[in-house]
Structure 1
C-alpha cells in the first residue's frame, strides 16, 4: 500500500488518466456501490460481468480481468492513494483520495443527464407553463401562475434536497479526516 498522507490532491491529469480506462472506472463504481472492502475475486467477477453483460461472466474473461486488476490497475490505483490494495490478502478498499476521483464520476448520473441540465429543463418548463397559465391556455389555466410557480419551486427544492441527500456521503467523506489504519 502506498502512503499519500500529507501529499497534495490528485491533479486533473491524474484523475482523467485513471478514468480513461474502463476497468479502473468499473472498479471505482463497484467500490462506490459496496462502500466496504471487497475481495479481488469478487471485484473481478463484478467487473467482468459489467464488461461482458453476462452473469456469470465467462471464465476466461473473469481470469483476464482478475489478472489485469491484480497486475496493473489496482497497483496503479493504490500508488495514487485512490484504493488500498492488500496484495497478500487480495482485498481492495477505498483509500484517502477515493472521493477526489468519484466526484468526477458523480457529475453525470447513470442516465447521462447532469444535474445542471435537469435544473435548466425544470426552469424552462416552469417558465413555459407559467406563461401558458397567464394567457389562460386550456389545462394550464386550471391553476394560477402563482400556484404553478409554487409547485415548480417545490419541485426544485425537493430535487435539490434529493441531490444533496443522495450525494451526502460524498460531501461528508471529502471533509471527514480518515483514520490511518
Structure 2
C-alpha cells in the first residue's frame, strides 16, 4: 500500500477502522486505490462503484451521480479527515493517505480470509482416504467400520467450519 507524502502519527482506533469499513462505498474506494498505482479522479471512482452496485456497465446515470455526490460530500471528506486518503476537493483527485496502511489487514484478498479452508479440505481428503483404505482391505483399517470413519470425518469438518464461521462472524466488518 502506498501512502501520500503527508505523515500522521496518530493510529486509528479499532472502532474507527470498523466504522470506516462498515460502509461498502468506502471499502470500494480503498480497494480501488490500493489496486491502482495512480491517484484516482472522483468521477472514475464513482463510475467504478456505480458499476459494482448496479451490476451494469456503464452504470445508469442517476446511480453514478448518486455515488459521486455521496463520495464528494460524505465519504471522501471523512476518509481525508482520518488521513486514510488524501482528497483534493478542488482538483477532485484522491490518493491513499498516511493512515491507509492501518486498514491493510482488513482489506486482504479473499483467499486469505479463509484460514480454515485448507484444514477443512485436508480433513475431507483424510477421511475419504481412510474409508477407501478400509474398503480396499488394508489390515488395520479394514477392521474399522467405514461409517465410523465417515462420522468422525464429518464431525471434524463441522467443527472446523463452525470455528471458521464463528471467527468470521465475530470479526465481521
Does the pair score TM above 0.5?
Answer: yes
1:104 aligns with 2:103: no
Question: Per-residue deviation at 1:44?
Answer: 0.7
1:115 aligns with 2:114: yes
Structure 2 spans left out of the alignment, 5+ residues: 138-173
Q: Deviations over 1:101-128 (max 9, x none)?
A: 232132x717xx8331212213313432
Question: Per-residue deviation at 1:4?
Answer: 5.3
**What is the DSSP-based 3-state SS (H/G/I as helix, E as strand, rest coil) of the residue aligned with 1:116?**
coil
Structure 1 runs (4+) deviating above 4 angstroms are none
Structure 1 spans left out of the alignment, 5+ residues: 139-181
Q: Give the structure 2 partner of residue 91 of structure 1.
A: 93
**What is the DSSP-based 3-state SS (H/G/I as helix, E as strand, rest coil) of the residue aligned with 2:8?**
coil
Q: Deviations over 1:83-118 (max 9, x none)?
A: 111112111111222232232132x717xx833121
Question: Per-residue deviation at 1:33?
Answer: 2.3
Question: Per-residue deviation at 1:35?
Answer: 3.7
Larger relative CO (CA 8 A, sep 6+): 1 or 2? 2
Q: Deviations over 1:28-87 (max 9, x none)?
A: 122122242111111111111111111111111111111110111001001111111111
TM-score between both structures, scaled by the size of structure 2: 0.67
Question: Per-residue deviation at 1:133?
Answer: 5.8
| Contact 1:35/1:94 (8 A) holds in 2 | no
Cα distance change, pair 31–137 in 1 and its aligned pair in 2 (3 A)? farther
Choose which of 15, 39, 42 in structure 2 pairs with 1:13: 15
**What is the DSSP-based 3-state SS (H/G/I as helix, E as strand, rest coil) of the residue aligned with 2:87?**
strand
1:125 aligns with 2:128: no
Question: Per-residue deviation at 1:136?
Answer: 5.9
Aligned partners of 1:21 and 1:76: how far apart in 2?
A: 12
Higher radius of gyration, 1 or 2:
2
Aligned partners of 1:90 and 1:18: how far apart in 2?
A: 20
**What is the DSSP-based 3-state SS (H/G/I as helix, E as strand, rest coil) of the residue aligned with 2:57?**
coil
